[in-house]
């Protein structure tokens, strides 16, 4: 899925490549330094463009943040739509879905960090922007899980699923310092399947499934 789904019209003297460079630089800086700590001049230097180009394409730093958040939620909505489809039992759908979400996080970690942690929560505009997208996802979960959603509210299932899948990637800087270089645990080969088993059946289910979660495999 393209990294930048926003309008790609060029600024005077600039083109889509410059707009993408700004987007990519923002994803790197917001994820590593934080939204508040990233200045517009630093962002323009990182992207290799002038400040006017950043403002032309995105209007403001908050406008750029909204584009990144929108891309993230569109991606997650696509993952959920694909993996919640069909007539399988709710636990099968949930297992398939959380594994897919974990795989998405492993390849789009920076966008996930921004969407989940680097938000100015005291900004009503951003809060409502994010809430509206959560309502879309909640509606999809509600319609796909049926009776399960009636017993376990989507306000519990949704955050729990995302939080559990994201925990490894949010904690990765600590893991990289705590574990030996080259450790299989850092590679996370079996992580999607193991986290899906943990979400659906808990610690006892994960222990019963053995190494690699339900599908087997090496120990993470």
> Are the C-beta atoms of 100 and 192 separated by less than 8 Å?
yes
**What integer is the mean pLDDT of 65-71?**
93
**What integer is the mean pLDDT of 53-71?**
92
Q: Mean pLDDT for the chain? A: 84
pLDDT at site 39: 94
> Looking at domain 16-62, does it have CATH number 1.10.10.60?
yes
pLDDT digits (tens, 9 = 90+) for 174-212: 988 898 888 877 777 789 999 999 999 998 888 888 766
* CATH architecture for the domain at 65-215: Orthogonal Bundle (1.10)
> Are the C-beta atoms of 159 and 101 separated by less than 8 Å?
no
pTM metric for this prediction: 0.81
User: What would the two tokens of residue 45 be?
Assistant: 């230097």
Domain ranges (residues) in the chain: 16-62, 65-215
Per the document, the length of the chain is 220
pLDDT digits (tens, 9 = 90+) for 94-132: 999 999 999 999 999 999 999 988 666 678 888 888 889
**What integer is the mean pLDDT of 3-20?**
59
Per-residue pLDDT for 214 more than 60?
no
pLDDT at site 121: 64
């Amino acid at each position: 899925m393209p990294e930048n789904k926003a309008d790609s019209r060029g600024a005077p003297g600039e083109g889509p490549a410059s707009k993408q460079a700004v987007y990519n630089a923002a994803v790197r800086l917001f994820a590593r330094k934080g939204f508040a700590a990233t200045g517009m001049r630093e962002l323009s230097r990182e992207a290799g463009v002038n400040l006017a180009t950043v403002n032309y394409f995105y209007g403001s730093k908050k406008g750029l943040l909204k584009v990144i958040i929108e891309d993230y939620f569109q991606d997650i909505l696509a993952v959920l739509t694909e993996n919640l489809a069909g007539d399988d039992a709710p636990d099968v759908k949930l297992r398939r879905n959380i594994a897919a979400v974990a795989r998405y996080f492993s390849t789009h970690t920076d966008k996930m960090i921004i969407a989940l942690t680097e938000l100015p929560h005291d900004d009503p505009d951003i809060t409502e922007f994010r809430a509206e997208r959560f309502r879309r996802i909640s509606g999809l979960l509600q319609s796909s899980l049926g009776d399960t959603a009636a017993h376990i509210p989507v306000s519990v299932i949704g955050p729990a699923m995302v939080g559990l899948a994201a925990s490894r990637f949010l904690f990765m800087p600590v893991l990289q310092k705590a574990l030996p270089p080259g450790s299989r645990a850092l590679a996370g080969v079996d992580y999607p399947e193991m986290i899906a088993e943990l979400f659906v059946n808990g610690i006892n289910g994960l222990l019963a499934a053995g190494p690699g979660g339900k599908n087997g495999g090496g120990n993470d």
